[in-house]
Amino acid sequence: MAVPKQKNGRARTHSRRSANDVCAMPSRSVCPQCGEVKLPHRVCGNCGYYKGREVVETE
């Protein structure tokens, strides 16, 4: 059975994990109606449109 010659330090372990544990930012898209930045496949919070029709009434 393979046995490590030396113990890996905490800094080495944490730096290796930090590269893989990064949370990716959610992707963004532009609303074709008002041009506001929004999450894809969601109703636009600014104008209330989704797929070219008004889903939520906004003021």
The encoded tokens of residue 14 equal: 């944490």
Indicate whether 58 pLDDT > 90: no
Spatial distance between the Cα atoms of 16 and 28, rounded to a whole number of angstroms: 29
pLDDT at res. 50: 94
Burial status of residue 44 (CB atoms within 10 A of its CB: 0-12, 13-18, 19 or more): buried
- Predicted TM-score (pTM) of the model is 0.55
Read off φ and ψ for residue 49, nearest 5 degrees.
-95, 150
Give pLDDT tens digits for 8-49: 999 999 998 888 878 788 889 999 999 999 999 999 999 999
Could you tell me which of 20, 36, 16, 18 has the C-alpha nearest to residue 28? 36
Q: How confident is the model at residue 1 (pLDDT cuts 50, 70, 90)?
A: confident
